[in-house]
Each structure stands twice: as C-alpha cells, then as structure tokens.
Amino acid sequence: MAELKYTKDHECIFVDGDIAYVGISKHAQDALGDLVYVELPEVGKAVEKGGDVAVVESVKTAAEVYSPVDGEVVEINEAMADDYELIAKPVNEDGWIVKVKVSDAAALGDLMDQAAYDAYLAEID
C-alpha cells in the first residue's frame, strides 16, 4: 500500500496507480472544525497543481482545496455532500474529496511524506 503524501496547503493524497485520491489533512480538519458545505467540481474538470479543485466550508471559515497534481477529475465523492463527517476519515478510505487522474507523476516527488509533513507542522505551529 502506498503511503499518504502532503502539501504545504494541508492537502493529503493517496496514489493508486495513476489515480490520486485528494483530501485534506487531519491538521486542516482540526483547523476548520465542523463542516457545513463541500463544493465539488465537475467530473472531467482539468486541474493544475496548486489550482482550486474544491471548496470546504465550516462554521469557522471557507477554504479552497488545491490540487497537488496536474490531471483530470475522474470521480467526486458524492457521499460527502450529504455526510460531512466523511472528511475526517483517512483519504485512502472514504475521506477523499476527488479522484484525479495524474498527468505528470514527477510532480508527486514534490509532496511531503508523513515525517516531512510533521516537521513542517512543527515549524509553523
């Protein structure tokens, strides 16, 4: 099983072949609090690394979810629109927001593993 990878914007991804399951990290979930809305993109949407892929709104704030890779949205987690608690599940289970077909696997090398992400969180907290 592949490990989870992270961005400095607190996205979390799990890669299975050429499909990236994109969600948000536990740190981002804790910062947001209880979700009240998730705006999902259309299947087929082309996304760029660092570009908006979804929006999550909580009782505290709204936050964009950025794509950690270039590619195309191939599936959205429609269940999340009715069950916001899914966001708290691991991204490699039901906590993913979108699945993106990765067009450039080299971009995955820019992502942090768990140890690097933990070190990054220690720096910013």
Give the mean pLDDT of the chain: 93
- pTM value? 0.93
The model's pLDDT over 13-56, given as tens digits with 9 standing for 90+, comes to: 999 999 999 999 999 999 998 889 999 999 999 999 999 999 99
Give me the pLDDT at residue 1, please.
43
Give the DSSP H/E element, type plus range, for residue 20: strand 19-24
- List the strands of the sheet with 52-58, edge to edge: 35-39, 52-58, 62-66
Helical segments of 1-125, H only: 26-32, 114-124
The DSSP symbol for 112 reads B
Share of the chain residues as helix, strand and coil, in percent rounded to the nearest 5: 25, 35, 35
4-119 CATH choice from 2.40.50.100, 1.10.3720.10, 1.10.3470.10, 3.40.50.300: 2.40.50.100
Give me the pLDDT at residue 14, please.
95
Domain boundaries, the chain: 4-119
Confidence of residue 107 (pLDDT cuts 50, 70, 90): confident
The DSSP symbol for 121 reads H
Confidence of residue 2 (pLDDT cuts 50, 70, 90): low
